[in-house]
Amino acid sequence: MSVPLATPALRLAITAQALTHGGGAERYARDVVAGLLALGLRPLVIARKIDTELPQAQTAQCVALRLRGVPRLLRSAAFDWAAARVLRREGANCVFAINHSRHALVAICGGTHPGFLQAMGRRAGWADRSQIALELRTYAHARYIVAHSQRMRDELLQFYDLPREKIHVLYPPVDTSRFHPLPAQERLQARQRLGFPPDRPVFLLASTGHLRKGLPELAALFAQNDRLGLLAVAGRPLPYPMRNVLQLGYRADIETVYAAADFTVVASRYEPFGLVAVESVLCGTPVVIADVVGSGEVIAQDAKIAYAASDPQGLAMALQSAAQRAGQPGARLDCPMALLHYQPDIAAHVSALMALFQTVFDGA
């Protein structure tokens, strides 16, 4: 893929909540900055928190905005006010917002608050309405919005009535050098280290928000049916011991855990994309995935067992089907890249972003 070269006068700035070792938006910020640096560009990064030990932070031009003491509901406004001074001082002329910012010319949509409330069955309170107003202000000001899935594009059209041509679907990237299958012997050794039983299927749930990720429903199913095997939970600790559920805690080696499991379960009630599903497939492990998860759009049928989240029996039936398939010939995914409907590497994603940045700059 050819990479568009930036005009020398283009001065790119990125606003984000944090440039740290976290997941989600923080990981996305790291990947985008790394991709830009690989092109020989040195973006200005403005965030509330920056880990100066990160290689990206040591090479990019980073400014951490200290907002201690600012009430939570005023932090976004305070961030924008402080960021405006930095942007003027540094002469930035194209702002890419990974957080919600009124300065954005290109903005990310990794989820909408109205969509979240609807999926969780919650009514909007005062704080929710404030969040929705912040989203609307960001998207109304931006020239382009990068939606991380078709589902997100549809939510933007439904809840914010934005012009369709303003929205570009661009699936998030994955570090393909990190996520890959393990040789059979290494995988067996990893299962032993992790405490996975040799004679039972192991399902992985990667979760930092157990309610939204579906842990209560999953735990009930595994407790009731020994034939399903074991549910291994990586991420936030369990609230209490659960039958047939193994707590792994936070893992720096999550790629090894993916490769060791038989299936990864993505049973979220609201999941705009769900990068864990793509990471799992890249590690050779198929997924059990709800039809409300955005990443299901890019995963081939041979790599997933999909179920309708609206079907009360859907998850149980999908798990039973997966448990029967686990350990059978052909259960592992030998050619993961062929089972994804997009190019997941960071370079491809950043190349597409650069085309948008250049279009914004040329039209300024």
Q: Measuring CA to CA, how many Å separate 2 from each of 33, 163, 354, 359, 363?
A: 19, 29, 11, 16, 22
* pLDDT (tens digit per residue) in 162-176: 999 999 999 999 999
Q: Which residues are CB-neighbours of 270 under 8 A, at least 6 positions away?
A: 111, 115, 116, 119, 120, 212, 292
How does residue 1 score in pLDDT terms, banded at 50, 70 and 90?
Answer: very low
Residues 143 and 242 in one domain: no
Residues 120 and 25 in one domain: yes
Average pLDDT, the chain: 93
Residues 130 and 255 in one domain: no
Residues 46 and 32 in one domain: yes
CATH of the domain at 275: 3.40.50.2000
Residues 353 and 253 in one domain: no
* Ramachandran angles phi, psi of 105, nearest 5°: -100, -30
Residues 191 and 287 in one domain: yes
Residues 65 and 41 in one domain: yes
In a domain, 3, yes or no: no
Give the residue numbers spanning the domain of 205.
184-339
Give the rounded distance of the alpha carbon of 358 from its chain centre: 25
* pLDDT (tens digit per residue) in 213-222: 989 999 999 9
Residues 142 and 211 in one domain: no
Decide: 92 and 12 in contact? Cβ < 8 Å: yes
pTM (predicted TM-score): 0.91
Given this model, what pLDDT does residue 178 score?
A: 92
Decide: 350 and 32 in contact? Cβ < 8 Å: yes
Can you tell me which residue has the tokens 């976290």?
22
Mean per-residue pLDDT, 326-336: 92
Give the rounded distance of the alpha carbon of 244 from its chain centre: 27
Mean per-residue pLDDT, 47-71: 93
How does residue 30 score in pLDDT terms, banded at 50, 70 and 90?
Answer: very high
Residues 38 and 70 in one domain: yes
Q: Which candidate, 58, 48, 44, places its Cα nearest to that of 13?
A: 44
Mean per-residue pLDDT, 268-286: 95
DSSP category for residue 331? -
Task: Give Dmax over CA atoms of the chain in angstroms.
Answer: 63
In a domain, 2, yes or no: no
